[in-house]
Structure 1
Amino acid sequence: MAGIYVHIPFCKQACSYCDFFFITRKKLIDPFVDSLVKEIQSYRGTLYSDEKIETIYLGGGTPSQLSPDQLKRIFDALADSFSLNPVEVTMEMNPDDVTPDYLKSLLDLGINRASMGVQSFDEKLLQFMHRAHTKSEALKALESLQTAGFPTFTADLIYGNPGQTLEMLEEDISQLLQFDPPHISAYSLTVEPQTRLGKQVKLGRISPPEDEMVAEHFDLLDEKLNRAGIERYEVSNFSKPGKEAVHNSNYWKHENYLGLGPSAHSFWLLEEGGLRWENRSDIKEYMDDLSAESTINPEKLSMHSLAEERLMLGLRTKWGVGFEELKSRYSYELNREQRSWLDYQREKGMLKTEVDVLRFTSNGLKIADLLIVDLLSKS
């Protein structure tokens, strides 16, 4: 199962925490779409167009900044250049862009999963995050999703914000659960150095919450969602059974994917290892030059490196990683020190082994990144 990620880099304004590549010059949207179509067409007849594409994900930026006609041009080019058999087509959108008519046009294009960037319903937190939407717009957008009849959707929440109390987070969760979401992505606020938030923290104007408070936020979130039948299946993702994100899950399972658009990443598994590359994070260079030189950091990955990456990604999910998969797919086996480490963590209740599969427990998932680093340091 292969996937395509399309990066749409346009935003109304910069969120205070965001370090993704984006631009706010809407006049460049049309020429950008021209270049994106050319990039899509450049893959026609190549190794990458032979495999069936079963997931498509439009991310950003804010893909909902594009009109239905502009989106149709992109989907027409994809259909003309690749063998599409999509089981999931996701598009990220912001509440302030959503109308019933716009959502209907997305359904007509074949988009069957919406990703709504809610983040919070609290007006002060939305202002702190420098989000473009209001609480009422978020509520109205979620209502419109239901009215439009989207087959499935996900909504984002951010917790661990400075000044955010447990009561504020509980209210956010309760508001969202009123819409019976099949899937929720919940992220602890991360301070990135080059963002507006990062600069304010460096200047001492904002103090991030203590780790203990962030942990309490997560425990509340986990408890509330579990009661609603929305279970954690990855460190930051929760869903009802069977509603897990197919596209993102395939990243964690090392399925092939192409990244299209500026700053997009690609990964392709070959017999002798893996190949990863990325497009430049520069809109001018992207629109001026779509030759091979417009990609950067091509990286050949050995089977050993891929196996360690598969461990890292897989152990962040409820599915874990199979020992037989590591051996047959990557010729990788855990060494004696790693197996001793597994025994120790089993006794502590951080992980479990069921038949052939290694998984973290709920407690282990809370500190998954630390545990994974420790495990891989022993290889």
Structure 2
Amino acid sequence: MSGLYIHIPFCKQACSYCDFYFVTRQQHKQDFVDELIREIYSKKETEFTEEAVQSIYFGGGTPSLLTAEQVNAILDAIRDVFDTDLKEITLEMNPDDVSREYLAGLKSAGINRASMGVQSFNPELLKFMNRAHTSQEALKCLEILEASAFRVFTVDVIYGNPGQSLDVLEQDLDTILQFNPPHISAYSLTIEPQTRLGKQVELGRLTPPKDDTVSDHFDLVVDKLAAAGIQQYEVSNYAKPGSEAVHNSNYWSHENYLGLGPGAHSFWWNDDRKSATRWTNRSNLNAYLNGDWKEKSDPEQLNLPDLAEERLMLGLRTKKGLSKEELKKNYWFEFNERQLNYLQKLEENGKAKTGARIHLTREGLKITDSILLDLVTMT
């Protein structure tokens, strides 16, 4: 299977854009680790242990708020329960949590890919995002990371922020590139309704940047990173050849994955390969600590048409796209006449390449969400 996603729900403070489940109280971290290990052991000798795990991803929340010893205990439990053929073990971390000793401890535990949430070095933007770290801490952290035993690491940056100029974005990219990262995740700011930013927009206190501005930011990111040998392989992800994320790439290919921890999502093909189940652990730490994970929360059954639509949306976000043959063979899906005409128009406008394999061009990837919405509403 693609792997295990471990949701660590603790954060020092709430970032203004984040809509993932988290708590800012940290007194239950060891209780959480103990309960997570119980959840891991509950999967022993189940359908989830019949496939070898290729990747593990510690997300959150802020996984770097756990000690290296706690991370090691979690990984020991995973190795004891699951058949593992691990190509990648990623842990998300914030700059203010990182030291040489901590990275060495994580490496010793088995983490081989660090995901550093820098987002920006600009003090005003960090304040706007309500990040817990300073630009100086981010710089120090990247110095430590570059000098560490981690050969594979990724740095996150957010563009398309209100008031963010191209000069400020370029400065952020130039600073990151000084540390020779093999992978960068560059996300266009998404304002979700229940976040602090979402409420500010709703109250009229914040105006999102215009599409043209975000498009200019996108172009700068693609060009700047490509010039450094870091190529776009998905809408928000860029890598040097061979450093693409294993875990996320398997998500986009519709591989099985199991989520552990409060708020974690899972996706699993049913035995007939004609349907799949998706479910989410309840987003409530107190309930989780009381064993709430023992029952699947709101399982959703997905039939082949559902899955075909989802695979289309995932595949077209990647640079390589997807093949018509795969859609036909695995999902019994073929494009209808309206969709084929739409794709042809996209190609004529330089936004897509069609044929046996369909993928969006750089211009198409700029407006992926709009194109996907058009396509799936034509079914």
TM-score (norm 2): 0.97
Does residue 95 of structure 2 align to residue 105 of structure 1? no
SS at match of 1:27: coil
2:17 maps to 17
> How far off its partner does 1:263 sit?
0.5
SS at match of 1:225: helix
5 Å-filtered alignment, 1:206-225, equals 206-225=206-225
CA distance in 2, matches of 1:121, 1:42: 42
Does residue 340 of structure 2 align to residue 339 of structure 1? yes
> How far off its partner does 1:350 sit?
1.4
Amino acid at match of 1:298: P
SS at match of 1:173: helix
1:298 maps to 299
SS at match of 2:298: strand
CA distance in 2, matches of 1:188, 1:291: 33
5 Å-filtered alignment, 1:191-206, equals 191-206=191-206
> How far off its partner does 1:52 sit?
0.1
Are the aligned partners of 1:2 and 1:51 in contact in 2 as well (CA < 8 Å)? no
2:171 maps to 171
Which deviates more from structure 2 when the two are superposed, residues 41-50 or residues 268-277? Answer: 268-277
Q: Deviations over 1:40-83 (max 9, x none)?
A: 11100000111000100000000000011111111111011101
Among all aligned residue pairs of Structure 1 and Structure 2, give the percentage whose two residues are the same amino acid.
Answer: 56
SS at match of 2:305: helix
5 Å-filtered alignment, 1:274-289, equals 274-289=276-291
1:148 maps to 148
Are the aligned partners of 2:6 and 2:260 in contact in 1 as well (CA < 8 Å)? yes
Q: Deviations over 1:129-183 (max 9, x none)?
A: 1111111110111111121120200001011112211111110010001011111
Residues 316 and 198 (structure 1), Cα distance of their counterparts in 2 relative to 1, 3 Å cut: same
Amino acid at match of 2:177: L
5 Å-filtered alignment, 1:47-66, equals 47-66=47-66
SS at match of 1:277: strand
CA distance in 2, matches of 1:359, 1:122: 35
Are the aligned partners of 2:4 and 2:259 in contact in 1 as well (CA < 8 Å)? yes
1:259 maps to 259
CA distance in 2, matches of 1:21, 1:55: 22
Amino acid at match of 2:20: F
1:181 maps to 181
> How far off its partner does 1:202 sit?
2.5
> How far off its partner does 1:205 sit?
2.7
CA distance in 1, matches of 2:367, 2:164: 22
Are the aligned partners of 1:39 and 1:290 in contact in 2 as well (CA < 8 Å)? no
Amino acid at match of 2:275: G
> How far off its partner does 1:311 sit?
0.6
Q: Deviations over 1:254-298 (max 9, x none)?
A: 0110000000000011223111111000011111124543x3220
> How far off its partner does 1:204 sit?
2.8
Q: Aligned residue pairs: how many? A: 377
2:3 maps to 3
CA distance in 2, matches of 1:320, 1:218: 19
1:31 maps to 31
CA distance in 2, matches of 1:189, 1:2: 27
CA distance in 1, matches of 2:210, 2:369: 18
Are the aligned partners of 2:72 and 2:110 in contact in 1 as well (CA < 8 Å)? no
Does residue 310 of structure 2 align to residue 309 of structure 1? yes
> How far off its partner does 1:2 sit?
2.5
SS at match of 1:35: helix
SS at match of 2:31: helix
Amino acid at match of 1:317: T
CA distance in 2, matches of 1:308, 1:208: 29
Q: Deviations over 1:194-250 (max 9, x none)?
A: 212222222333222222212111111111111111111111111112211110010
Amino acid at match of 2:139: L
Amino acid at match of 2:62: T
CA distance in 1, matches of 2:293, 2:359: 43
TM-score (norm 1): 0.97
Please tell me the root mean square deviation across aligned C-alpha atoms, in Å: 1.2
Residues 316 and 29 (structure 1), Cα distance of their counterparts in 2 relative to 1, 3 Å cut: same
CA distance in 2, matches of 1:324, 1:291: 38
CA distance in 1, matches of 2:208, 2:342: 33
Are the aligned partners of 2:282 and 2:292 in contact in 1 as well (CA < 8 Å)? no
CA distance in 1, matches of 2:354, 2:228: 28
Amino acid at match of 2:284: D
Q: Deviations over 1:325-372 (max 9, x none)?
A: 111111211222222222222212111135x21111111111111111
> How far off its partner does 1:184 sit?
0.7
Which deviates more from structure 2 when the two are superposed, residues 324-333 or residues 7-16? Answer: 324-333
Residue number among 273, 276, 287 corresponding to 2:275 in the alignment: 273
Amino acid at match of 1:274: A
